[in-house]
Homo-oligomer: A and B are copies of this chain.
Amino acid sequence: KVLYVLTQLCGLTMIVLVATWIGQHFGGLAGTSNPGVEFNWHPLFMTIGFIYLYGNSILIYRGFRTTRKKTLKLTHAGIHMGAFILTVIALKTVFDSHNLANPPIPNMYSLHSWLGLSAVIIFSLQYVAGFVAFLAPGLRENYRIAMMPLHIYFGLFGFVLAIASALMGITEKAIFAIKTPAYSTLPPAGVLANVIGVLYVVFGALVVYLATE
């Protein structure tokens, strides 16, 4: 219970700090007319959707043990859908920020983009599989039981991969965009980047601990 509250505080702080980071140091938010700033939706919505909501949806079964199972399943599927929608917007804005730049920036070259997109694909497949196995009627009970360990393993694997992707993303952005003074001199924007990264790790460690204890 204490750990659950701590997880929420950590998650919310993480979101506030990402908002502060892009607001104070990288020009806030913008639409397609300013692709360099439109980029900022990417870390913000990945953090809210693909990290905070993803983690919270995993914890639903732990935080609300007294609620009916059917309600929990619908909430779990619902929050995951919210996470997915924000993630798709976060992908759209980063691709825009590359394609609409002048000159355009190539797509899908980095380890960050390879592993990040892999995490999104694993998440999408997991969603369909989870839906078929646990919400749609018709599947035989022994199949459902056999699916559960895999569902949990790949659910947590995708979540940890999302966190690792976010750490690489923060690293890239800090190197690309913290220039005067440089990231290597640890200016406020650099310290903030590192603190956000540490919070991602603490949030992830707490979610995995609570989901497996």
Q: How far is the CB of A98 from chain B (nearest CB, A)?
A: 9
Instruction: Report Cα–Cα, A105/B182, bound state, in Å.
Output: 12
* A interface, CB within 8 angstroms of B: 105-106, 109-112, 114-115, 149, 153, 157, 160-161, 163-164, 167-168, 170-172, 174-176, 183-186, 190, 193-194, 197-198, 201, 205, 209, 213
A106, A111, A149, A197: most-surrounded residue (chain B CB, <10 A): A111
Shortest Cβ gap from A104 to chain B (Å): 11
A186 in complex: contacting residue of B109, B153, B184, B201, CB < 8 Å:
B109
A/B interface sample: 9 pairs, CB < 8 A? A109-B183, A109-B185, A109-B186, A111-B171, A112-B171, A114-B198, A167-B168, A171-B172, A175-B176
Distance (whole angstroms) from the CB of A207 to the closest CB of chain B: 12
- Contacting pair A194 B157 (CB below 8 A): no
Q: Other than the known A106-B186, A115-B198, what 4 A-B pairs have Cβ atoms closer than 8 Å?
A: A106-B184, A111-B194, A115-B197, A171-B172
Which residues from B are CB-within-8-Å of A201?
A: 115, 161, 164
**Oligomer: number of copies:** 2
Q: Are A194's CB and B110's CB within 8 A?
A: yes
* Chain B CB within 10 Å, residue with most, of A109, A153, A193, A209: A109
Q: Which of B106, B163, B184, B193 contacts A164 (CB 8 A)?
A: B163
Shortest Cβ gap from A118 to chain B (Å): 8
Instruction: Give which listed residue, B106, B110, B163, contacts A174 with CB less than 8 A.
Output: B110
Give min CB distance, A29 to chain B, whole Å: 23
Given contacts A114-B197, A160-B160, A197-B114, contact A190 B153 (CB under 8 A): no
- A172 CB to closest chain B CB (Å) equals 6
CA of A186 to CA of B114, assembled, Å: 12
Q: Which residues from chain B contact A176 at a C-beta distance below 8 Å?
A: 175
Contact B184 A111 (CB under 8 A): no
